[in-house]
Structure 1
Amino acid sequence: MTQASSRRGGRPEPPEPLPVPVADSHCHLDIAEGPDDWAAVEAAVERAAAVGVPRVVQIGCDVRGARWASHAATRHPALLAGVALHPNEAPRLAAAGQLDAALAEIEELVRSNPRVRAVGETGLDHFRTTEEGWKVQEEAFRAHIALAKQYDRTLVIHDRDAHEDVLRVLAEEGAPDRVLMHCFSGDPAMARECVRRGYYLSFAGNVTFKNAQNLRDALAVVPLERLLVETDAPYLTPVPYRGRPNASYLIPLTVRCMARVKDVDEETLCAAIAAATEEVFGSWEAA
């Protein structure tokens, strides 16, 4: 089945609810549902809550998306926000002479809204950005690290094909108190190093993919107290719906795969994920 035909298959049926509620720690509702369709956003949040995913961290990856994330988190009690300039956005903004102004707007959103709990996703991407853009990516990454430390926000890391450089920059700058490796993509050695440094690791629907044994091997070495779960919706839809748009209500499929890898029952894993998520982002009820 092609991706296009599977996307025409419609929304998957909701999975069985989780025994303990967890949060989707990384979602892009503005992309999945559209920034101008609040009714669709509300419906997506309700579908997730119905299967035990009552809380979502909405991530903005450019200035427009960051504004939307901040507004959405203020408007809806189920949402918190993370804001940043995506690593692939930084070289484009720099080329247009707009990077400093964009970083200043990200800082203002962090400073002014207590429901913006994270600076991210930021980091390095050596897959989509060619080598001539890596220097600007790194400069933007360092600026985001400083911002997270200044305002005591969690740093949410995007790391694609740049593991060693991401760890190097974090070591050189000094990491904030809370670092979350979003959509973890490294091997067991990378996972162990992140745990050694005190970072948290979030796994997405790709951990369910047949060809993702490396991710399952990495997951296996991460202590429960350092684990989060996410969709990265509308991307990385878990098996058996790979190819269709992802959504927070499909989190139970990923959690159940994670429980099998960790050889723990769902309730134990969900409780651990819920506790770690609150350590990373704080309470949804606060502020």
Structure 2
Amino acid sequence: MYYELSPDEQSVLESVAHSLSEDDISYVILRGFVDLPERVWGDDIDIFVHEDDFDAVFGVMEDAIPGDPNRKAPIREQLSVALEDPRESVRRVLSEPKIVIDHLLIRRKHQNLDEPDNKVKLAKFAYGDSRSKHETLRFDVWNHMCYSSPLHSGKYRVDPEIDRLMLRDRVQHNGFYVPSPPDELAHLVGRTVFYYNEDGPPSYYMDRMNELRDTVLSNESQDEKLHRLLKLMFFDAWETAYLLIDERKYGSIRGELEAFSDY
């Protein structure tokens, strides 16, 4: 499923990307970015930023996403009021349809990390006219790479080294920062394992993983990085995951992981 961006939405997306870079905020658009700015796979744009830059994202979005020129209060002030009074939240959405902001804080502990309280933060932003039949352009901004647990509710952080490598090795694509091929492949494999059920991922993921598999496995340095990422994600089961990637059997990885008692 692709979301086609209108000319106005393309302009907003480009403004967001430009503002993030201008403010020295390290970011990547995680997936579905191949055809940007014309369209994105899925129903939103997922952006990962460095944890130290997460709070600054609110100011960037306030500047980059157009709102009602008659707005009297800053968006962050409106957000605070709306969270305290849900009825006020509804009124604000109706009176200012150009921008809707929500902020969700999820607290979870990850047994594989040393820190006692690892916070995964998600900020949601949208641009569009709620009175229009056209859907809204939505942004999900994350401060950490994380996946849904297949056994428990909530989001769990990956190893912080995966965060660091993702931002360190980012590349530009059509004017946007995106993951390097091994980072993107590892991310999509992780989504396949931890997010999608036995029916498997959508065809876009399969096609993209096959394309990335051919690129990464044929390049020695990229292949070595994929090894490193898989070790951080799957521990002693990494070689099994790598073999199944080589065989293009991405949907089989989750089942094979169950054979490892330490995973």
TM-score normalised per structure 1: 0.29
Q: Larger Rg: 1 or 2?
A: 2
**Of the two structures, which has the highest relative contact order with CA contacts closer than 8 Å and spacing of 6 or more?**
1
